[in-house]
Amino acid sequence: MPVKALVLRTAGTNCDEETQFAWEQAGAEAERVHVNRLIENPKRLADYQILTIPGGFSYGDDIAAGKIFANQIVHHLADVVQEFLAADRLVLGICNGFQVLVKCGLLPGSDGARVTLAQKATLTSNDRGLFEDRWVHLRVDTDRCVFLGQGEVIDMPIAHAEGKFVPADAMPIEALEKGNQIAVRYVDTDGNTGAGYPWNPNGSVGDVAGLCDATGRIFGLMPHPERNVLPWHHPHWTRRGAGKEGGGLRVFRRGVAYFA
């Protein structure tokens, strides 16, 4: 039986088709489902092994990026999401999806992560006050996340106005580092952190581009792995050769391989 991935969308989501395609390229059977359909029948979530919240601008980011979508999950889907996680399933949040996971409490989370509006971090406006649309280099800094391989440097594009990661006092950056939860960091062309703008395009504390929870099964990141799936997705593919696949595809392949 193929691994089944749910791509959960809502008004303003605009990366759901690319995310479905990425899962399919990785060997999964993927389906796009509107959140209202899942709220009508929450038990439907048990049909999937992977829950994905893709990028976009859910509800226009009218209150704060991802906040309304996060509220829907907390108030309508918390119980089934907890059951889903207890069954050793995976969760991936990309860009707006990362914002949703942070604002419904699943990231950074804690041991036995719970769906809750008690945030321990936020993703707020970029330092320059502008929408940033560019390619970045990411270094994998954890061996915990099932979607990643420690030490890798992966190129991905970003496209966001509220991507600056800021931890709360209750879980400072040092605690996340000690817990091995900083999954990916923005780095320069030599793989070094601390390079500033444009390498860190939003001013994220600690150059954080993505987090995992304590189990490594919940992963969120601001850059878009689904936009670097085919070799010619990368802007430099004609110079360095097409290769077999884009670097972002490995995120989806590892998610599928978890259930092999």
Residues involved in catalysis: 95, 224, 226
Instruction: Give the C-alpha distances (Å, rounded to integers) separating 204 from 87, 108, 198, 213, 234.
Output: 33, 15, 12, 18, 24
Look up residue 14 and give its two tokens: 């605009």
Classify residue 59 as left (phi > 0), alpha (psi -120 to 50) or beta.
left
User: Which of 19, 55, 51 is CA-nearest to residue 228?
Assistant: 19
CB atoms within 10 A of CB 63: 11
User: Which of 228, 183, 237 is CA-nearest to residue 25?
Assistant: 228
Residues in the chain, how many? 260
Look up residue 16 and give its two tokens: 């759901």
Q: Order across the sheet with 4-9: list the strands.
A: 29-34, 4-9, 50-53, 90-94, 218-221, 208-212, 182-187, 132-140, 153-160
